Amino acid sequence: MKIKLILLDFYNVLYFPREEEINQEIVEFLQSNNQTYLFGLLTAVHIDIEEWLKQRQLKNYFQFIKTTEELQVSKNEPDVYEMVANSFELKPEQVLFIDDLPENISAAKKAGLQTLLYKPTQSFTEQLKEFL
């Protein structure tokens, strides 16, 4: 089934806090594919994520921006992923969740999402190939 929504994690996927760098490869993917896919950001960080994205002119690429704190859920529970899919009226298998933590990937798989355990040492585009 075709992917309609790509749900990204923030830390160590879109943003590398240790280097204080945005993942340029993902930004380029957002820019060139914003007519093809819906994009979401789900994070456990406790910052004003919408403001952070707005300051970097990235907010408009995302149709869903939520923190686990706002949703009062954990990313290692399948419920949050079911809720995201339902909010877009999508089947879980139409959502690709990208995270760097195996426990979050496991929870998303349990909810029926397609998942990608992101490895910052590999090309984002190469990692995506099997899904798109």
* CB 125 within 8 Å of CB 98: no
What pLDDT was estimated at residue 90? 97
State the pLDDT confidence band at 46, using cuts at 50, 70 and 90: confident
The number of domains in the chain is 1
Residue 19 gets which letter from DSSP? T
Q: Can you tell me whether residue 105 is helix, strand or coil?
A: helix
Extract the tokens encoding 46: 């406790």
Range of the domain at 117: 5-128
Q: Give tens-digit pLDDT for 61-74.
A: 999 999 999 889 99
CATH number of domain containing 107: 3.40.50.1000
pTM, 2 dp? 0.95
- E-strand ranges in 9-109 read 15-16, 21-22, 38-43, 64-67, 95-99
**Nearest residue to 125 (alpha-carbon basis) of 103, 98, 85, 90:** 98
Provide the β-strand partners of residue 123: none
